[in-house]
Amino acid sequence: MKSEGDEKIARKYSVMGRVQGVGFRVFVQRAAESIGVRGWARNCADGSVEVYAAGSPEQLSELEGYLWKGPRMSDVRHVNVTEAALERHIDFQIR
């Protein structure tokens, strides 16, 4: 029997600001792994970083907090969040 905490959902995040060339994707990967979120992060041509994440609503809320914070040299200006289809991933990768 599944409890509410077992529910998995997925979201895509578009993180804008100074987020490329500052270790942002590695920062996100470490944060995601520490809270048990699976998915990926990649740089986009427009200078943003796109993140796909799957986990419980609580885990994704925690990850979003990390996305707003970013690593020391970053300057996050906006995080756009959209619901996404649940994909199967075994870990969190940098693309």
Annotated active-site positions, please?
Answer: 25, 43
What is the spatial distance between Cα 70 and Cα 4, in angstroms, rounded to a whole number?
29
Q: What is the Rg, in whole angstroms, of the alpha carbon atoms belonging to the chain?
A: 13
SS3 assignment for 79-93: EEEEEECCCCCCCEE
Token couple for 41: 């992060």
What is the rounded CA–CA span in Å between residue 87 and residue 77? 28
**3-state class (DSSP) for residue 34:** helix
